[in-house]
Amino acid sequence: MKKHIIDFEVSSNEEVGNNAILMKLHCPTPLPEIKPGQFVEVRIDNEPNVFLRRPISINYIDKKANEMWLLVQKVGKGTNKLGTLQKGDTLNCVVPLGNGFDTKAAQGKKVLLVGGGVGVAPMLMLGSTLKEEGTEPTFLLGARTKNMLLEKELFEQTGRLLVTTEDGSLGEKGFVTNHSVLSNEKFDKIYVCGPTPMMKAVAGYAKKAGIDCEVSLENKMACGLGACLCCVTETQEGHKCVCTDGPVFNINELTWQI
């Protein structure tokens, strides 16, 4: 897939709770082809303490509006700067990057999409793409507490939504891996994005249950293009770049002790 450097125009940038923002970015030219699970490298301007671009997953593509959405948790210098962008500002992105999820592998299967924290971001686009391709997605999203769950309504509109919260304020109490759906229903494909401990727990469940499982990693990156070799993860075939061979890996490719 051809990569582009594009100056997007911010259409809107809203606080969506849990210290996160949803940025809708208008593309001045028709949006390039983008797959769910792919990401962009955004350039953070006018923030002298940020030197490198920041990798952010593509949350959703609104084809009608020619907009790309980014869901960003403000955790540091760069992401906080993104929070200050206003309608009409530009955001320079290298897009699209990474391999994306294998949606073909979902065809005719019962699929579960698991997201935790800001890791729900790519799941919205994945779910809507699966739906377009004729697969009904079930989302299982985890949050610490009720108002930390991001984009709840959008997920509800896209598929069946199951939730766990650590304090029980919404959905079932506990972690995603404690949800009753995992023992009551049989899925044959799982996609996961979220904090590493959560991904490992879900991957462990999938492995034991013999379910095909893809995870999306968030290693630190410099180039995002497979050039610097900074973002590597350990795989069965040695070090691989998360930015080009990933960010999505089948758990069988990784060397996780699960």
Partner 1 sequence: MADLTTNIGGLTLKNPVMTASGTFGFGLEFADFVDLNEIGGIIVKGTTLHKREGNPYPRLAETPQGMINAVGLQNKGVDYFIEHTNPQLKNLSTEVIVNVAGHSIDDYTACAEKINALDNIHAIELNISCPNVKEGGMSFGTSVPMVEKVVGAVRKVYKKTLIVKLTPNVTDIAEIAKAAEGAGADSVSLINTLMGMAIDAEKRKPIISTITGGLSGACVKPVALRMVWQVAKAVKIPVVGLGGIMNATDAIEFLLAGASAVEIGTANFIDPAITVKVANGINEYLDRHGFKSVKDIIGVI
Ligand X SMILES: Cc1cc2nc3c(=O)[nH]c(=O)nc-3n(C[C@H](O)[C@H](O)[C@H](O)COP(=O)(O)O)c2cc1C
Chain residues binding ligand X by CB under 6 A are: 228, 230
Select the span of 123-131, 166-174, 196-204, 223-231 touching ligand FES (CB under 6 A).
223-231
d(CA 126, CA 74): 23
CB-based contact 133:107 (threshold 8 Å):
yes
Q: Would you count residue 230 as binding ligand FES (CB under 6 A)?
A: yes
Nearest distance in Å: CB 15, ligand FES: 29
Using H for helix, E for strand and C for coil, what is the string for 176-195?
HHHCCHHHHCCCCEEEEECC
Nearest distance in Å: CB 69, partner 1: 23
Nearest distance in Å: CB 222, ligand X: 6
Q: Would you count residue 220 as binding ligand FAD (CB under 6 A)?
A: yes
Select the span of 54-62, 102-110, 142-150, 207-215 touching ligand FAD (CB under 6 A).
54-62
Q: What angle do CA 246, 163, 18 make, to 5 degrees?
A: 75
Select the span of 50-58, 149-157, 198-206, 250-258 touching ligand FAD (CB under 6 A).
50-58
Q: Which is nearer to ligand FAD, 117 or 137 (CB)?
A: 117
Q: Would you count residue 72 as binding ligand FAD (CB under 6 A)?
A: yes
Q: Residue 75: which of ligand FES, ligand FAD, partner 1, none does it interact with, CB under 5 to 8 A by kind?
A: ligand FAD
Return the DSSP state at 87. Answer: T
CB-based contact 35:60 (threshold 8 Å):
no
Binds ligand FES (CB under 6 A): choice among 113, 203, 211, 221 = 221
Question: Which of 197, 20, 222, 221 is closest to 121 using CA atoms?
Answer: 20
Q: Residue 73: which of ligand FAD, ligand X, partner 1, none does it interact with, CB under 5 to 8 A by kind?
A: ligand FAD
Question: Which of 32, 30, 74, 31 is closest to 56 using CA atoms?
Answer: 74
d(CA 102, CA 93): 24
Q: What are phi and psi of 68, to 5 degrees?
A: -115, 135
Q: Name the amino acid, one letter, at 106.
A: A
d(CA 241, CA 246): 7
Q: Return residues touching partner 1 (CB under 8 A).
A: 2-5, 43, 48-53, 94, 219-234, 238-239
Residues that bind ligand FES (CB under 6 A): 221-224, 226-231, 241, 243
